[in-house]
Structure 1
Amino acid sequence: MVKNNIFVDVFEYRKFIISSIKTEFYSKYKRSKIGILWMIIHPFMQVLVYALVLSAIMQAKFAGIESQFSYAIYLISGFVGWNLYADVTSRLLTVFIDNGNLIKKVSFPRIIFPMVIVGVALTNFLLMFVSMFVIFAFLGHFSVEYLIWIPLVVIVTLMNAIGVGLFFGVINIFVRDVGQMMAIILHFWFWLTPVIYSVDMLPESYQFIIAFNPITGIVMSFQSILAFNKAPNLELLIYPFITGLIMLFLAFFTFKKANYEMADVL
């Protein structure tokens, strides 16, 4: 029987969650000649492309980043944060539909599926994070002084990503158009987040629009720590922290309401 306490379910099935995360990566690379090394090569090459190609195309300079590759450093710093948010959100939109056969056949807590998604996304984030520092070292931009703030920013990022992804992921079970709609919204959301530009590059009349985006403060916090080598402005994290709490509440409330109906609909 499926229990009612989500946190108890996650704790009791923690070994299964960890095993599922390992299986996710193993199954992806099991027939590969170099195997798990692709886990490092993929994010490394992605970061390398941003560093080299965009630095050649974009000649923007950012005060506080002492490097001729300042634009690439700025962009990559924000991109790792956005990528974590988008990865978790987009995967959660279809997590229950993708695992529909298991949900219909096996009786166990459905919350473990989102937790596996979060675990996989965090592993991808860590690999990209390491790759980023390798690239930064080659670009002459390497500092670990303010990395202590990264866990806080990651937690706020996950609060928002899990909240939005799980909420719409549950609704997507009953109204399949939601998943398609959110995929489009995420594309627009990227351009409303200061990843490839800074807020002060925009006309003042448009800056308030970017300020309404809760991911703006998250991305700017990653950029402060990684690109500008300074502590994040905690005031920028208050808004995304509040939106994260609200979305988490809505997500888990909706999940518990729909928990017993999932199998019938799927």
Structure 2
Amino acid sequence: MLKSIWNYRHFILASIKGELRGRFARSRLGALWFILHPLAQALIFSIVLSEVMRAKMPNMTNPAAYPIYLLSGMAAWGLFSEILMRSMNVFIEQAAALKKISFPRLCLPIIVWGSALINHLLLLVSIAVIFLFFGQYPGLAWLYLIPGMLLISALAFGIGVFLGVLNVFARDVAQAMAVVMQLWFWFTPIVYVKSAVPEGFQKLLRFNPMAPLVELYQNALLLNEGPSWLGILPPIVVGACMVLLAFTLFRRASADLVDAL
């Protein structure tokens, strides 16, 4: 399966380029829309909660600490949610192509992953520019975002492909996951700081694999610090298991995938 994907690598790259061009077609702002949407959402949260959260971050002397904290978390979550949700629906969205064209079906979520990663890099560039206005200059800790992106994308890819196969046979999966993602977002310290959570609920956060990955982004962008490698061990294990589980399920269900569509 991996060998067939490698043989179709030019098809994957061409599809990623074609998808990006298709999104930008007849749009005057083009790629800016992928940046403006998360920035606008972060701006709304900053305006509404900046005074409240500033009191919850007593060790921060920078008045822009909360907006930087929020943008960092939103960037990490945006990459995760885009890969997961689009991978979960990609087989249904591309049903016509799957029925007419012969190619490795796993190429579709890989194309989604590549497109989402490019969007994420554009967002990080825009965030870096915004941070300059806050007086927050990028440091070497930004390099920790590279393993962070890999871990987040692997976790999202594994869950997305696994649910994407199930979604072909039971369309309620996508509807249920839309609700789960909303709850998962608020269960992750993005809008609020972890120290503001009661002690009993902080123990529950340990079962959230996205919490340490979001914290990785927040530490790198706000504090210019590296992650706790022991802390990100659980998401590494969960991500690896989900990728293996997704590959196993996909391989078994691949033959019946087109018929179910």
Q: TM-score, normalised by structure 2?
A: 0.93
Q: Which amino acid aligns with 1:47?
A: L
2:3 is matched with: 8
Paired residue for 1:238, among 229, 233, 241?
233
Task: Please list the CA deviations of residues 70-109 of structure 1 after superposition, one character each: whole Å capped at 9, or x if unmatched.
Answer: 1111111111001100110000111101111111122210
Task: Please list the CA deviations of residues 227-253 of structure 1 after superposition, one character each: whole Å capped at 9, or x if unmatched.
Answer: 111111111210000000111111000
Comparing 148-157 with 64-73, greater Cα deviation is found at: 64-73
In the aligned structure 2, how far is the partner of 1:112 from the partner of 1:178? Answer: 21
In the aligned structure 1, how far is the partner of 2:34 from the partner of 2:189? Answer: 24
2:149 is matched with: 154
* Alignment coverage as a number of residue pairs: 258
Contact 2:74 2:190 in 1 (8 A): yes
Q: Does 1:223 align with 2:218?
A: yes
2:65 is matched with: 70
* 1:51, distance to aligned residue in structure 2 (A): 4.4
Contact 2:34 2:119 in 1 (8 A): no
Q: Which amino acid aligns with 2:78?
A: N
1:130 is matched with: 125
Task: Please list the CA deviations of residues 205-226 of structure 1 after superposition, one character each: whole Å capped at 9, or x if unmatched.
Answer: 1111111100001001111101
Q: Does 1:38 align with 2:30?
A: yes
Q: Which amino acid aligns with 1:224?
A: N
Q: Which amino acid aligns with 2:46?
A: L
- 1:189-228 aligned within 5 A: 189-228=184-223
Name the SS for the 1:94 alignment partner.
helix
Paired residue for 2:15, among 10, 16, 20?
20
Change (3 A) 1:45 1:144: farther
RMSD over aligned CA atoms reads: 1.7
Q: Report the identity percentage.
A: 33
In the aligned structure 1, how far is the partner of 2:204 from the partner of 2:158? Answer: 22
In the aligned structure 2, how far is the partner of 1:181 from the partner of 1:53? Answer: 26
Change (3 A) 1:53 1:191: closer
Name the SS for the 2:6 alignment partner.
helix
2:172 is matched with: 177
Task: Please list the CA deviations of residues 151-203 of structure 1 after superposition, one character each: whole Å capped at 9, or x if unmatched.
Answer: 11111111110111110100111011111111110111000000011221111
Contact 1:65 1:227 in 2 (8 A): no
2:50 is matched with: 58
Task: Please list the CA deviations of residues 85-135 of structure 1 after superposition, one character each: whole Å capped at 9, or x if unmatched.
Answer: 011000011110111111112221001101100011001101111111111
Instruction: List gaps (5 residues or longer) in structure 2.
Output: none
Instruction: List gaps (5 residues or longer) in structure 1.
Output: none
1:84 is matched with: 79
Change (3 A) 1:228 1:11: same
Contact 1:91 1:165 in 2 (8 A): yes
Name the SS for the 1:67 alignment partner.
coil
In the aligned structure 1, how far is the partner of 2:44 from the partner of 2:92? Answer: 39
In the aligned structure 2, how far is the partner of 1:72 from the partner of 1:24? Answer: 31
Change (3 A) 1:253 1:45: closer
